[in-house]
Amino acid sequence: MTIATFADAGLVLLVLTIGASTIFARRAFDAVIAFVVYGLLLAIVWVRLSAIDVALTEAAIGGGMTGMLLLGAAARLRAVEFDSFAAALPVRLCAGFLCALAAAGLAGALLLSPKVVLSLAPAVMENLPRTGLGNPVAGVLFAYRALDTLLEKVVLLLALLGVWSLAPNQAWNGIPGLRIYDQPNTTLTFLAQILPPVGIVVGIYMCWVGANEPGGAFQGGTILAAMWLLVIIARLADAPSTGNTWLRIGLVFGPVVFLSVGLAGLVLANAFLAYPPGYAKPLIVAIEVALTISIAAALAMLAAGPPKPVQQQ
Amino acid sequence: MSDATLFGLCGAALAGLGLYGLVTHPEPLRKILAFNLLGSGVFLVFGFVSRRAATAGVPGDPVPQAMVITAIVVAFAATALAIALVLRLLEQTGRATLSSDDPASATGEKGNS
Amino acid sequence: MPDATTSGGILLVLAIVLPVVGILLSLIAGGRQVERIALVVLPSNLIVASAIFADLWRSGRQLAYIVGDWQPPLGITLRADGLSAAMIVTTAVVICVIGVFAHADFDCRAEPFETRTSFVFWIMLMAIGCAMNLIFLGGDLFTLYVALELLTFAAVPLVCLDGRAETIQAALRYLLFALLGSILYLVGTALLYGSYATLDIALLSQRVRMETATLVAAVLMTVGLFAKTALFPLHLWLPPAHAGAPAAASAVLSAVVVKGSFFLVVRLWFGVMPGMLGFAGAQLVGVLGAGAILFGSIVALRQNRLKLLIAYSTVAQIGYLFLMFPLALDPVSETLHVNGALAGGMLLAMSHATAKAAMFMAAGLIYAALGHDRIAELGGAARALPMTVFAFAIGGVCLIGLPPSAGFLAKWLLLEEAIATGQWPWAMMLLVGGLFSGAYVFIVVSHALVSPQEPLKLRAAVPKYQEAAALTLALVSLLLGFVAFGPIDVLQVGPGAAMEVLQ
Amino acid sequence: MAFARDLFTVLALVAGALFFLAGTVGLIRFPDQLTRLHALTKVDNLGLGLVILGLLPQADGWFGAFKLVSVWLLVQFSGAVVTQLIAGALRERGPCA
């Protein structure tokens, strides 16, 4: 038992308490606040698990972006009195028992998992020089399991299309209704003038170092998306119409570059999504840059919500 | 107990909590929150798997880490879609519940009983 | 023996890349071009699927493609065995015909600008094609997770395409069930990876051992997939979601989408861990299937709206698909093996895909023509829309399993296996389910055949090609019974070939 | 030299932690929103400042030190803005209880 173990145990207790309060909090708004805190704590847990890439993603997307979405929704829903007819006690007890059973099963599976630990880590490290990358996680995402990453981008686009599809017919290709303040708020405007230049530099830096160090397209793209949303919320610029050609091009740019490089691999290397020897790293960096743009656009638009009908003012 | 196991068990507990919330909360927003909790618990199981494979020089298996990054992005997309659905429901009906007062599923429930 | 890319392997890449190209292109080209793009992509997809099938049939060996030239376990392999080939062709045919049918409702060129419903519908139809292909071809459990998510995000917006509040509610409920399903599946992959350091199906099936972690993973994944397939008692989301969507969307949801997660259950148990299910597990799955048949059928009988009746019939038919698990279990070795029951189950899935799509299309046409789908007031429909009612009836024949339909052949195969292994209760269940299907199809058709007191006034004329589309799929389902001797061969050959690779 | 550096780090971190503790107590115990905000800003400002100061000698070269100071400046900045926004929202809602 070291001090670190005690600190970890404390962290786990904190995470569990706050996690539980997102479930058991009386009001939805309190639960959402707890969830944002929970997301940040979880990022620390991932640091303790030596998964810095995941920690960055969790902090940026899991805590930050998801938290923002949930807060926005909770604020809108707070106006509605929710007729709270919680499930009857026996039902809850029964559900609680089953969920405890599931958790216990999972815990048992973890504790009883084979003592001989198999892992792909050696194989990943051994083949990493062929990709020219220094960050093994980037190697997995963009070389070994590139197909998953490519298709996951398509998932993101489909989700965005799904969100857009919830617009009323006449609002199609309108402007996403991300209105929080009726009037421009001077303090927020100030923030939105000062922060984005810094944020954009950080976002680009994140994407750039991703090839060799923790970071990459997801984390960088999320920061860029946050900056864009800040500018939109402060009303320094309107969100683009969902039919905007540049927006559409930005959204598909990353996947198109990814897919093109993948198909070029059929000719230049010997398989789909294979990179020609020696050119792997520049190609992967190019893909990451293109994806950063697309991820930033997709995440920001996902958070901005469906287009709203034009309001007569 | 290693730190990996500790966090893995934490993940299992969080998954159980999230599952409970997802099943019992009647309010859609709370269900979405619970789903996120369940998701993060499951991601910690990946973290356990990754960390357990740590050896000298390698802090953990990068494959599960990459999978978690993919899954976090997917979970965010799912949350965004679910919230958009809830808010659209609110816009149209002035309330946001999953309780079936629509004729379609009401007939189903009546047939059930 | 390490995998190698086989000669026709590039077809597998094409099957996944083609729809993706279609989706990306549609987003840039804008709404008025989307239908045109889809009408290029969907038939091309059918051609690729047929080529995969033909290659497999000719060579008798499974196809494989190593993506990015990274051998598993590090990389991802795409594989097509007999099951995938048969399913991929069926799905491609159904989606293609649905594309033809949907032209009337989602005509992109009818308006001078991009419209919401047509833009979303065509892209999502291509996305469902992509997701299904990936589910059939994916050789890696995490790739299959991505495929499941693709399917979910493509299917949910289709449920609430018309934007009515109750369909949005249905979509939300569907999304929550689907997300629960995927996350349970995901935790299973984490546990399997933790134990065996691979998610490649072929490698896993060699390494998998009877262990706590593996068992927990298998149970969680299966429950998750059951939720996505809407197997009783996790079916609550299905009827409102499938009945509320526009006809073309209902057809693709009911005929195609639920088969995705069903196929993964089959992959998991027959492909990854055939020895794990055991006698009790197989019986339990069978009981759930039987529960679905009884519950779905009885509730379907009590519906007074056509689309809901068909949706509940889907709940019942999904139950049928799971009856093959107890019948495919070898009683001595307690291992799931490739036999007539598996072939029958898969044939049933194919037959249901075509027949159910035809029935939902027919219901949609009846709704469009009559302005309602109340079963009691269908009188005269048969005279007004003979082709449509005929399509519905033929689809019904396939569900009931009358000869010469594919449904008959499928149930015959299952029955044979039930008798051979002496499992009489399941044989009874097969027959009872057929009777139920007969009852609810009969109710609808008999109402449609009645002459109304006053001449029926049609609200709108129904395009002939839509009726033809419905009838085509119904006939495909019927004729599958004749040509099934071919596909059955492939069904048997495929997994056998898969076994060779494993050894 | 190394010992002096580590000692400085430890002392600064402990001092920073004390401010965090005080700020948290304030957040929980203070009677109304404005005084709670006040407690929070002190934590951001001094607590984090001391932690960063303590970590500076351990930083990974000049670039690392620059990143640490940037973190502090960014937190300062966003903290100030957010506090303003919350206080503004409180004022709009009327006198706070």
Closest residue in chain A to residue C124, using alpha carbons only? A158
Q: Which tokens in the block code for residue C95?
A: 């989606």
- Chain A residues near residue C117 by CB distance under 8 angstroms: 169
Interchain CB distance below 8 Å, B42 and C173: no
Interchain CB distance below 8 Å, C183 and B45: no
Place of tokens 């590039």: C10
At C78 the three-state DSSP class reads strand
Interchain CB distance below 8 Å, A194 and D84: no
Q: Please tell me which of the candidates B13, B18, B33 has its beta carbon nearest to residue A32.
A: B33
Report ipTM for this prediction: 0.92
Q: Which of C263, C82, C252, A35 is CA-nearest to residue B18? A: A35
- Greater model confidence, B3 or C175: C175
Place of tokens 């007539």: C340
CA distance A208 to A200: 12
Q: Which tokens in the block code for residue D72?
A: 């502090």
Interchain CB distance below 8 Å, A45 and B44: yes
Q: Which tokens in the block code for residue C246?
A: 């526009």
Interchain CB distance below 8 Å, A302 and B40: no
The nearest CA of chain B is from the CA of C308 a distance in Å of 8
Across chain C, mean pLDDT equals 86
User: With an 8 Å Cβ cutoff, is D78 touching chain A?
Assistant: yes
Q: Please tell me which of the candidates C10, C115, C157 has its beta carbon nearest to residue A161.
A: C157
Interchain CB distance below 8 Å, A187 and D81: yes
3-state secondary structure A266-295: HHHCCCCCCCCCCCHHHHHHHHHHHHHHHH
The total of structural domains in chain C comes to 1
- Predicted TM-score (pTM) of the model is 0.93
How are beta strands C76-80 and A307-308 bridged, if at all? unpaired
Residue A308, φ and ψ in degrees, nearest 5: -110, 150
Interchain CB distance below 8 Å, B78 and A159: yes
Query: What are chain B's domains?
Result: 3-94 (1.10.287.3510)
Q: Does residue C499 carry a pLDDT above 50?
A: no
Size of interface A-D (CB pairs under 8 A): 17
User: For residue C127, how far is the Cα from the chain centroid?
Assistant: 15
User: With an 8 Å Cβ cutoff, is D77 touching chain A?
Assistant: yes
Q: Please tell me which of the candidates C175, C244, C305 has its beta carbon nearest to residue B82.
A: C175
User: With an 8 Å Cβ cutoff, is C157 touching chain A?
Assistant: yes
The nearest CA of chain D is from the CA of A305 a distance in Å of 23
As a residue count, chain B comes to: 113
User: With an 8 Å Cβ cutoff, is C303 touching chain B?
Assistant: yes
Domain that residue C415 falls in: 297-503
The nearest CA of chain B is from the CA of C302 a distance in Å of 7
Identify the H or E element spanning C64. strand C63-67
Interchain CB distance below 8 Å, A191 and D77: yes
Closest residue in chain D to residue A199, using alpha carbons only? D74
- The tens digit of pLDDT for each residue in C188-232 reads 999 999 989 899 998 888 888 888 889 999 999 999 999 999 898
- Chain C residues near residue B51 by CB distance under 8 angstroms: none
Interchain CB distance below 8 Å, A263 and C17: yes
- The tens digit of pLDDT for each residue in C69-81 reads 888 889 999 999 8
- The tens digit of pLDDT for each residue in A27-82 reads 888 899 999 999 999 999 999 998 999 999 999 988 889 998 998 888 888 777 55
User: With an 8 Å Cβ cutoff, is A104 touching chain C?
Assistant: no
Q: Please tell me which of the candidates D70, D74, D84 has its beta carbon nearest to residue A187.
A: D84
User: With an 8 Å Cβ cutoff, is C223 touching chain A?
Assistant: no
Q: Does residue D75 carry a pLDDT above 80?
A: yes
Closest residue in chain D to residue A230, using alpha carbons only? D78
pLDDT score for A1: 60
| Amino acid occupying residue A26 | R
Please report whether residue C324 resides in a domain. yes
Interchain CB distance below 8 Å, C183 and B38: yes
Please report whether residue C481 resides in a domain. yes
- Mean pLDDT computed over C335-360: 86
The nearest CA of chain A is from the CA of C366 a distance in Å of 25
CA distance C155 to C125: 9
Interchain CB distance below 8 Å, A198 and D84: no
- The tens digit of pLDDT for each residue in C366-392 reads 888 888 888 888 877 878 888 888 899
CB C191 within 8 A of CB A109: yes
The nearest CA of chain B is from the CA of C173 a distance in Å of 7
pLDDT score for A148: 94
User: With an 8 Å Cβ cutoff, is A237 touching chain B?
Assistant: no
Closest residue in chain A to residue B17, using alpha carbons only? A20
Per-residue confidence band for C490, with pLDDT thresholds at 50, 70 and 90: low
CA distance C76 to A122: 17
The nearest CA of chain A is from the CA of B105 a distance in Å of 19
Per-residue confidence band for C253, with pLDDT thresholds at 50, 70 and 90: very high
CB A252 within 8 A of CB C23: no
pLDDT score for A200: 92
Closest residue in chain A to residue C150, using alpha carbons only? A155
Per-residue pLDDT of chain A (313 residues; tens, 9 = 90+): 688 888 889 999 999 999 999 998 888 888 999 999 999 999 999 999 989 999 999 999 888 899 989 988 888 887 775 555 566 788 888 888 988 998 998 898 888 877 788 888 888 888 888 888 888 899 899 999 999 999 999 999 999 999 999 988 888 888 887 665 666 677 888 888 888 999 999 999 988 888 888 888 889 999 999 999 988 888 888 888 888 889 999 999 999 999 999 999 888 888 899 898 888 889 999 999 999 999 999 999 999 888 887 654 4
pLDDT score for C495: 43
CA distance C467 to C72: 47
User: With an 8 Å Cβ cutoff, is D66 touching chain A?
Assistant: no
Closest residue in chain A to residue B93, using alpha carbons only? A80
Chains C and B touch (3+ CB pairs under 8 A): yes
The nearest CA of chain A is from the CA of D4 a distance in Å of 22
Closest residue in chain A to residue B36, using alpha carbons only? A62
pLDDT score for B99: 65
pLDDT score for B81: 94
pLDDT score for B1: 56
- Mean pLDDT computed over C114-141: 92
Interchain CB distance below 8 Å, A99 and B20: yes
At C79 the three-state DSSP class reads strand
Closest residue in chain C to residue A270, using alpha carbons only? C69
- Greater model confidence, C462 or C362: C362
Q: If you write DSSP's letter for every residue of C371-412 in order, what string do you get?
A: S--BGGG-TTHHHHSHHHHHHHHHHHHHHHT-TTSHHHHHHH
Interchain CB distance below 8 Å, D85 and A195: no
Please report whether residue C101 resides in a domain. no
Please report whether residue C288 resides in a domain. no
Interchain CB distance below 8 Å, C65 and A272: yes
User: With an 8 Å Cβ cutoff, is D14 touching chain A?
Assistant: no
CB C388 within 8 A of CB C363: no
CA angle at residue D52 from D46 to D57, to 5 degrees? 135
Please report whether residue C387 resides in a domain. yes
Chains D and B touch (3+ CB pairs under 8 A): no
In angstroms, the Cα distances linking D74 to A209, C410, D68 are 21, 67, 10
Neighbours of chain D (3+ CB pairs under 8 A): A
The nearest CA of chain A is from the CA of B7 a distance in Å of 7
CB A262 within 8 A of CB A280: no
User: With an 8 Å Cβ cutoff, is A198 touching chain D?
Assistant: yes
- The tens digit of pLDDT for each residue in C406-459 reads 888 888 888 888 888 888 888 888 888 889 888 988 988 888 888 777 777 777
